[in-house]
A and B are shown apart, each in its own frame.
Chain A
């Protein structure tokens, strides 16, 4: 399976080539890949359902305990099947939807890469692997939302989705690390059964908050929901696939995956059920504000994601059954509805439902599909959505905490959802015929197949859940989420109970709302000024703040003047060293003066060099006197028997002086000399720095905190590394990786210098360059 996932990335890279071979049929050919994966998963299903999780081990970085091991249990099987089956349909659908699009190859690359990343995410056993695939889905989602990259809105939405999910990704990383640290295990299989330790662990709260931040941003939970409707800038196949059926459920997957170990605590129950319920209501409420069919569906997806989170929070047996059933039902109908929305958009040229009407005679098949899928969304028997909704009501009625709140929220949102379903399925197809930008006709087979099969699924899975293996698949998934064996037996009739009564009442009220939708929407428009202050405004404000802050700090700290950079660096060093040495440790000045005459001469030379460098008006003079200091340091190294250091210092100093002299010839004349005030400032910074470094060296010299590593080096360099020169042995053997890195740094610096010098001259005309440089050259000779 790992091989299949990795092959997916290879296939994605080959997609442009295949475009050349298969032209318009590429999507169909590529669809074979997810179809094969789906077939493989189906073949494994009996084993997984009957015998429990399958482990596919593959070591990756064994020394760090990171493995590419995949685990297939009921939950990953359910997700894997959704990803591969809907992926197959979406690819076929996209082939028609984007037929003849200039960038279709790019679309295939991103979509395939997403598909395998998502598969990797739900199959990953290692926490690190899971995180990597998680981030990969964010990246591919970004590429797909911004697919129409010439559209500024699409770019902005893509960036927003990326920022929100990446911010959550960072939190998730912290959460996974905390999970790994507190459990001591880095794979999901090994964490199994540690719930007692984990829930009692001191790090439980921060760990849970970080993990939930990751899950909430990815799964568009309130208040991070705003990126999802904006992500509708993506082509419709992407919306159908990523932003309803798969990627946005990654957060849900993560929570479901960790529910057996981390769930059930008051914090878990409170946060998940309340946030889920708020998301549920907000999504359903915002949905009816919109007339854009994709936005309507996006908000109803937010509602569904809220439902799933809430069910995980409730955590009762009913809730788990409702969770897996609702998950399956939602993926089926929402995928179909999005594809229908794509058909409508494709055929009529508009996304506004109020601009459509009376399309049924023109596109009867689409109308039927839409009707079936929308009935499932509304939760009308005998569709799978009905069972999902019944179970949801049962779950909220049986909730331990926040029962009243959850029931009200679930009931109100059910009414709104029914209105949404009616808007999507009835408004475009019935009523008076409207003129649309394009003349509509029935969609091609490729576009109808996917939604049709998904709708059929919604119907037959609920009519005969046992026959199609849905019961056993959902039982297996529910067992994985609950962490103990569960048996799911779906049924359309649970008898007359409160759930059924709530369903019936909400159906009536929902249809009523649909009837007066235009009026209600008009009233809701009055709320628009208030709505502007939602979480999205917060996001915008934060983003603008960051941009302004970086502009400000670039202007102040990195203004392009070398002297400014040096000043900033020194001041920062003074603060850091000063804080550490003066405030946190007391400086130690215990030393006895045992100085030889030649040492005094060397130091005296250095002091004179330093003083001359500060007072001379000539740059050349300054360079030479700084060079004198360098050579004196080399002399000190040699005096204290460090020949390697001495030689290096000598050579580096020589070459530095030469390079400096060469560079100085290029500099223009001083435009002005420092004012007295600036000199006092620079002088005091330099003096403080000097004193601090002196204190630091004296203190470091008199503290003996750790045993010196040189003893080890001296003892081992000859027997282990066959070298007696410890400095060289460290460079090329013990610390060769560091040296390798430094080689690259040096090479990059050299290439940078060479490139800048060579490129500098080309844009200018030769004449101005000559004039400019004449005055430059004169200056150094003044000294």
Chain B
């Protein structure tokens, strides 16, 4: 189990992971209008890392993640979810009322639901890879 995968899996994972991650970001941003969204995108990204984990093991994946601990992703995700609540208060509207702003130059519609969705994305991603990594690390401890 802990033994890393075959050449085919390794090669595929090396190329698929960045593609999957890009695809997940694509899903995240199109989610408000087309199929997609933070939850699905988070799962796709988690799938990308899980594939890499299966192919190369925990320590290699940690190198890819560099300083980022999955548990921190959960925290940042929850924080973004909470932060997206605040703007409505400044506008004198009830809790969680969506706010929309258009960023002029690139004509991009920013909104609190988008911030919220990014929060969902990060917490889903963090939760899943956190659990998978913890499970695989338990295996790694044994010869």
Contact = CB atoms under 8 A, between A and B. Distances in A.
A662 to B, nearest CB: 4
A663 B134 CA distance: 11
Interface in B88-143: 94-96, 98, 100, 109, 111, 113-114, 116-117, 119-120, 123-124, 126-128, 130-132, 134-139, 141-143
Interface in B66-89: 71, 74-75, 77-78, 81-82, 84
B43 A728 contact: no
Contacts of B46: 655
A585 interface: no
B31 A728 contact: yes
A737 B96 contact: yes
Contacts of A750: 74, 126-128, 130-131
A724 B109 contact: no
Contact of A769 (B43, B127, B130, B141): B141
B57 interface: no
A729 interface: yes
Contacts of B63: none
Nearest to A750: B127
Given A654-B47, A747-B123, A750-B127, A648 B78 contact: no
Given A643-B35, A725-B34, A658 B139 contact: no
A731 B1 CA distance: 37
Interface in B1-40: 1, 31-40
Contacts of B100: 722
Contacts of A652: 43
A746 interface: yes
Contacts, number: 149
Interface string A735-750: 0110110011011011
A727 B96 CA distance: 18
Sorted from nearest, which 6 A-B pairs have the closest CB atoms? A750-B127, A651-B43, A723-B32, A728-B37, A662-B135, A732-B113
B44 interface: yes
Contact of A754 (B81, B116, B131): B131
A714 interface: no
A352 interface: no
Contacts of B119: 743
Contacts of A665: 1, 139
Contacts of A777: 1, 142
B37 A731 contact: yes
Contact of B128 (A647, A655, A724, A751): A655
A729 B39 CA distance: 12
A754 B32 contact: no
B98 A721 contact: yes
Given A722-B111, A724-B34, A732-B114, 13 more contacts: A659-B135, A663-B135, A721-B113, A732-B37, A733-B98, A747-B74, A751-B71, A753-B130, A753-B131, A753-B135, A754-B134, A770-B143, A777-B142
B31 to A, nearest CB: 5
Interface string A44-86: 0000000000000000000100000000000000000000000
A102 interface: no
A739 B34 contact: no
Contacts of B123: 743, 746-747
Interface string A632-654: 00000000000110011001101
B113 A746 contact: no
B129 to A, nearest CB: 9
Given A721-B113, A732-B116, A750-B126, A758 B134 contact: yes
Contacts of A747: 74-75, 77-78, 123, 126-127
Interface of B: 1, 31-40, 43-44, 46-47, 50, 54, 71, 74-75, 77-78, 81-82, 84, 94-96, 98, 100, 109, 111, 113-114, 116-117, 119-120, 123-124, 126-128, 130-132, 134-139, 141-143
A643 B98 CA distance: 25
17 contacts: A644-B35, A648-B39, A654-B47, A662-B132, A662-B139, A666-B135, A722-B32, A728-B32, A739-B116, A739-B120, A747-B74, A747-B75, A751-B71, A751-B130, A753-B134, A761-B141, A769-B141
A584 interface: no
B44 A651 contact: yes
Nearest to A728: B37
The interface centre, meaning the residue of B75, B142, B143 with most chain A CB atoms within 10 A of its CB, is B142
A59 to B, nearest CB: 14
A199 B5 CA distance: 79
B117 A773 contact: no
Contact of A743 (B77, B95, B96, B114): B77
Interface in A571-620: none
Contacts of A643: 35
A527 interface: no
The interface centre, meaning the residue of B34, B127, B141 with most chain A CB atoms within 10 A of its CB, is B127
A757 B143 contact: no
A760 interface: yes
A648 B31 contact: no
B91 to A, nearest CB: 15
B78 A743 contact: yes
A406 B100 CA distance: 72
Contacts of B126: 747, 750
The interface centre, meaning the residue of A647, A729, A736, A770 with most chain B CB atoms within 10 A of its CB, is A736
B61 to A, nearest CB: 14
Contacts of B113: 721, 723, 729, 732-733, 736
Given A647-B35, A751-B71, A757 B120 contact: no
